[in-house]
Chain A
Amino acid sequence: MMGTTNVLIVGVGGQGIILASEILADAAMQAGMDCKKSEVHGMSQRGGVVTSHVRFGEEVFSPLIPAGSAHVILAYEAAEGLRWCHQLRQGGTIIVSTQRLIPPIAMTKEYDYPTDAIEQIRDRGVDSIALDVVGICQELGNPRLGSTVLLGALSTRLSIPEPVWLEVIKKRVPRGTEELNIKAFQRGKEICVEAKA
């Protein structure tokens, strides 16, 4: 029996995490698997921490990923990657954007933003891929492609066939941006393969 694959997508409200998890879940379903995804809407949208759990396989029970068993963590923000990276299972991979979003609370004396989040993740000895998503978007000429770049990177660690990804992305992104998003997906994928090599 095929086991369940667990993908944890994390970041900050407003970064597009919900749409990315929709695309992943849809792709898993189109690939013929059972799939569940879970996140909480509401207060967390006001600049708070957002997590989305996506699980797929032959039969999925809990919509939440059991502690410490994520195969891949996709982090849209560096400190959020650090916050959640202990949820990786042995041999799991964290793909983390180097982007920093410093919350207002960091202005108070009680809290500091971890500017060395990426190094701290590496120091934990987990398989990590840090991507300059903002820079890649600048190269591609559109700041809104970050999510698709990250999904491209994610695709290198999952068994979902590429044609399924591309079909779902075309269906879900704003009309007229399909080609650009596919380019962004391919770019994310290439960089991830290069980083691995």
Chain B
Amino acid sequence: MKRLLSGNEAVAQGAMEAGVRLAAAYPGTPSTEILETLSKFPGAYAQWSPNEKVAFEVGMGASMAGARALVCMKHVGVNVASDPLMTFSYTGVNGGLVVVSADDPEMHSSQNEQDNRHYARFAKIPLFEPSNSQEARDFLLEAYQVSEAFDTPVLLRLTTRISHSKTIVECGEWVRPKVKGFKKDIAKYVMMPLYAIRRHHFVEERLERLREYAETTPSNRIEIRSKSVGIITASISYQYVREVLPDASVLKLGMSWPLPLKKIRQFAHSVGQLIVVEELDPFLETELRAAGIDCVGKQHVSLEGELNPERLQMAMVKAGILPEVTFDGPPAADVLPRPPVLCAGCPHRTVFYALQKLKANVLGDIGCYTLAALPPLKSLHSCICMGASIGTAIGVDLVGGSQEPVVAVIGDSTFLHSGLTGVMDAVYNRSNLTIIILDNRATAMTGGQNHPGTGLTLMGEPTHQADIPAIVRALGVEHVVELDTVNYERALATITEAVNRPAPSVLITSEPCRLFPEKRRGEPYRIDLEICNGCAVCLKIGCPALFASEQATPKGLHKAEIDAAECAGCDLCAQLCPVDAISVGIPEEVA
């Protein structure tokens, strides 16, 4: 049956056709919808794990027990899971295991644009790269066959453009998962030096056998058209090549590690100029050059960002393949940007406004609250990776050199992902740090997914709700206090007290997210324009419901207004207004 599916949905569909028994992941854009889709299929089992390392280990266990397992994450999640990945490459599988890495060229929703094809080479495992949703489904099925036939985990690499584009997929029948059961095999699964040495030898041999497989799989195919130019490409870049260079011959790599060098040589000999078209790093190009195959690539195609038809066209003009193009239409209009903002009524806003008033040095983390770095709040000063806020703050605090208070800010899901060890370090090494856990009980930035602190599993079943204050106390923090974000003055006082304490403090907010699990709004507020003196204090909290009115004061200051449709009724602006011009109620019609 034909269906229009995103790459992520197609992976979920493929998992059902492959008989996957267990899928585990931590949510991360652009990978999240794979498990969200899969968890809704009857008979499937999928779970959110606290982080990617645990998700990978759960998948590894399912594989050892002889079941097919799927593990999904965004590109930076593979960094977290890389410890088990590197050694699971040695042990190999029992049931097939595929790890999906959803990379994010152009950083639509990420902190870097690392190219995870390197992980396949690094871990010495096969790599598949679909160029549309049909291939996402097809390659997943092939990946499970390869995983079991060659005794290896397999990397399936998507990119944002594959994950989030919808294309037509011919779907097949679902199959019932099989489980062979755990078999004790110490020499295969206990990676102590004695056995690991033998398994490393196996890995190198396996790579050679996989190379032979890459030569013959129909997923690596040569398309001969005009022979003057030959393009070697993979992933979404293939679609741009077909769009921009419809007459060029193409070697399309579906399995792009290890490389089929014989096939590549054969193709190189049959065409004139050989060009490698790939997003981000010269992964293919470097290997081709190392193998002595003459080609060009990154001297024309950018190392940065994602490709698109226009960028590829410009690159091919540069390479002398296409004639110079002139765009005769009018130029793009210069329209103001629309940076994403914290939602109206977001409980994080109170905390960041208070931190701004305290001139704190705020070490941040990954989540919606990263948006507090943008104007007008500008009160988050670092964002590196999941859980980094606490360790970074310990280092900043330890070396000193500045009078401003040091505060680490981390969300609930991020704290449970990898914040615990940071808190342990703060206590162990006697830091005086203030840590604020912004607990809105949702993985909000990725769409409000459940996590161990929400009391619900991915399958929607009730479960134990991790008690964050109890965890923090157990780690040795004595000053654990609830941070009230509804009352600004009280929040400011709580934070002020904590930063002045000569011992570590953990402040935990409790207001739930405004969007998840369901939209929450109060009665909208209004501004009395008779009273408003145009001081613009309320406009400094970065609320999307507040805007500058066309009405001005005699001194020419713009008064402020509230968009009643957008206002969530949180009361923060009303608390800050020095002249009490803001109150609850729908604005009266202007007569």
Q: How far is the CB of B386 from chain A (nearest CB, A)?
A: 16
Complex contacts, B447 vs chain A, CB 8 Å: 41
Identify which of A13, A79, A90 contacts B336 (C-beta below 8 A).
Answer: A79
Contact between B338 and A49, CB atoms less than 8 A apart? yes
Complex contacts, B338 vs chain A, CB 8 Å: 12, 47-49, 103, 105
Complex contacts, A136 vs chain B, CB 8 Å: none
Residue B292, interface by CB 8 Å: no
- CB within 8 Å of B: which A45-60 residues: 45-49, 60
Residue A83, interface by CB 8 Å: yes
Residue of A41, A124, A125 contacting most chain B CB atoms (<10 Å): A41
Identify which of B166, B376, B539 contacts A37 (C-beta below 8 A).
Answer: B166
Identify which of A36, A80, A86 contacts B166 (C-beta below 8 A).
Answer: A36
Q: How far is the CB of A54 from chain B (nearest CB, A)?
A: 9
A46 to B516, CA, bound (A): 14
Contact between B339 and A48, CB atoms less than 8 A apart? yes
**Main secondary structure on B side of the interface with A:** loop
Contact between B4 and A124, CB atoms less than 8 A apart? no
**Interface footprint category on A:** 35 or more
As a 0/1 sequence over residues 48 to 81 of chain A, the CB contacts with chain B under 8 angstroms (1 = contact) are: 1100000000001111111110000000000110
Residue of B164, B165, B166, B310 contacting most chain A CB atoms (<10 Å): B166
Q: How far is the CB of B342 from chain A (nearest CB, A)?
A: 8
Identify which of A34, A38, A62 contacts B164 (C-beta below 8 A).
Answer: A38
Complex contacts, A48 vs chain B, CB 8 Å: 338-340
Complex contacts, B61 vs chain A, CB 8 Å: none
Complex contacts, A142 vs chain B, CB 8 Å: none
Identify which of A82, A102, A107 contacts B539 (C-beta below 8 A).
Answer: A107
Contact between A113 and B4, CB atoms less than 8 A apart? no
Identify which of B243, B335, B376 contacts A66 (C-beta below 8 A).
Answer: B243
Contact between B341 and A67, CB atoms less than 8 A apart? no
A39 to B309, CA, bound (A): 15
Identify which of B168, B239, B332, B335 contacts A79 (C-beta below 8 A).
Answer: B335
Contact between B333 and A64, CB atoms less than 8 A apart? no
Contact between B309 and A64, CB atoms less than 8 A apart? yes
Identify which of A66, A111, A125 contacts B309 (C-beta below 8 A).
Answer: A66
How many residues on chain B are close to A (CB under 8 Å)?
Answer: 54
A66 to B246, CA, bound (A): 14
- CB within 8 Å of A: which B166-205 residues: 166-168
Residue B364, interface by CB 8 Å: no
Contact between A104 and B309, CB atoms less than 8 A apart? no
Number of A-B contacts (CB under 8 A): 156
Residue A118, interface by CB 8 Å: no
Residue A108, interface by CB 8 Å: yes
Identify which of B313, B544, B546 contacts A47 (C-beta below 8 A).
Answer: B544
Residue of B310, B327, B542 contacting most chain A CB atoms (<10 Å): B310
Q: How far is the CB of A119 from chain B (nearest CB, A)?
A: 12
Q: A interface vs B, CB < 8 Å? A: 12-13, 22, 25-26, 29, 34-49, 60-68, 79-80, 82-83, 85-86, 88, 90, 102-108, 111-114, 117, 120, 124-125
29 contacts between A and B (CB under 8 A): A36-B165, A37-B4, A38-B165, A40-B160, A44-B108, A46-B340, A46-B371, A47-B340, A47-B544, A48-B338, A62-B243, A63-B167, A63-B236, A67-B308, A67-B310, A82-B333, A85-B333, A86-B331, A90-B329, A102-B547, A103-B337, A103-B338, A104-B341, A104-B542, A107-B546, A108-B376, A112-B336, A113-B336, A114-B336
Other contacts beyond A42-B30, A83-B335, A114-B333: 20, CB < 8 A:
A29-B2, A36-B166, A39-B164, A42-B29, A42-B445, A43-B29, A44-B108, A45-B340, A46-B340, A61-B240, A61-B242, A61-B243, A63-B161, A67-B310, A68-B327, A86-B331, A103-B338, A105-B338, A108-B376, A111-B337
The 9 closest A-B pairs by CB, nearest first: A42-B109, A46-B340, A66-B309, A42-B29, A63-B165, A38-B165, A67-B310, A61-B242, A111-B336
